[in-house]
Amino acid sequence: MRIDIITLLPELLVSPFSASIVKRAQENSSVSIHLHDLRQYGLNKYGQVDDYPYGGGAGMVMMIEPIDRCLQDLKAERNYDAVIYMTPDGERLNQKLANKCSLMENIIILCGHYKGVDQRVRDHLVTHEISIGDFVLSGGELAAAVFCDSIIRLIPGVLGDESSALTDSFQDNLLAPPIYTRPADYKGWKIPEILSSGNTPAIDAWRIQKAQERTQHLRPDLLND
């Protein structure tokens, strides 16, 4: 997978992509991430990328021309499965959407800033709009990092054990069951005996039961989907 991210603040994304699973995914060529500073496509000698909103009002708006120029440069080099705009009023990111996006080959992510982008960008240039929640951030960079992490870990070969992702919360609309590790007894707090029984079918059944119970208690809405 190739991910191109258009941003006004590429420095915000250096750290999230330089450690842990995402770093290893790049090292083993499962994914390549490329940051593009939108100011390089800015207008006039000042590299202008924003302007006042028509009709008045507070804040600045990202202009369509620099964004379109950057997109055209990228699209001239390859075909893209999606041009994604990170925005609070987009489609809510969930595991089902992450699974779907993880199957794409090339994607562009546009990070908004200020009051957002000219509406014509949304009407004519992007193909998907994605939100990580009903709240507003200073820009789309952190949301883009969250989105990228959610899909990169699903690419085959990224995780050490590919079956790990299949048992995560929200796969099959269930929360993950409780998990334990050594020691089996700590301060009198013991693990469930079934987990040390060696009876794999019984352990699997216990995990399914606990996943259903936890989902019913914490997120009953998932069971209705």
Residue (of 193, 158, 155) closest to 27 by Cα position:
158
Looking at the structure, tell me whether residues 56 and 102 fall in a common domain.
Answer: yes
pLDDT band (50, 70, 90) for residue 87 = very high
pLDDT at position 159: 87
Looking at the structure, tell me whether residues 140 and 56 fall in a common domain.
Answer: yes
CATH number at residue 52: 3.40.1280.10
Range with the lowest mean pLDDT among 63-67, 106-110, 138-142, 160-164? Answer: 160-164
pLDDT at position 169: 63
pLDDT in tens, 181-200: 999 999 999 999 999 999 99
A 10 A CB-CB count for 127 gives 12
Residue 213 lies in a domain: yes
* Count of structural domains, the chain: 2
pLDDT at position 167: 64
pLDDT above 90 for 2: yes
DSSP structure string for 116-178:
-B-HHHHHHT-SEEEESSSS--SBSHHHHHHHHHHHHTTSTTSSSSTHHHHTSTTGGG-PPPP
Token pair of 38, please?
A: 């939108």
Looking at the structure, tell me whether residues 42 and 139 fall in a common domain.
Answer: yes
Amino acid of residue 73: D
pLDDT in tens, 142-155: 999 999 999 999 99
pLDDT in tens, 31-78: 999 999 999 999 999 999 999 999 999 999 999 999 999 999 999 999
Model's pTM, two decimal places? Answer: 0.90
Looking at the structure, tell me whether residues 93 and 191 fall in a common domain.
Answer: no
Looking at the structure, tell me whether residues 173 and 138 fall in a common domain.
Answer: no
Please give the torsion angle defined by the CA atoms of residues 137, 9, 24 and 93, in that order, rounded to the nearest 10 degrees: 30
Residue 160 lies in a domain: no
Residue 162 lies in a domain: no
Domain of residue 182, residue span: 167-223
pLDDT in tens, 111-141: 999 999 999 999 999 999 999 999 999 999 9
Looking at the structure, tell me whether residues 109 and 140 fall in a common domain.
Answer: yes
Token pair of 164, please?
A: 């790990």
Q: Give, for 108, the enclosing helix (H) or strand (E).
A: strand 106-111
CATH number at residue 191: 1.10.1270.20
CB 108 within 8 A of CB 140: no
Rg, C-alpha atoms of the chain: 22
Domain boundary among 94, 128, 152: 152
User: For the residues 157-175, what does the mean pLDDT come to?
Assistant: 73
pLDDT at position 161: 62
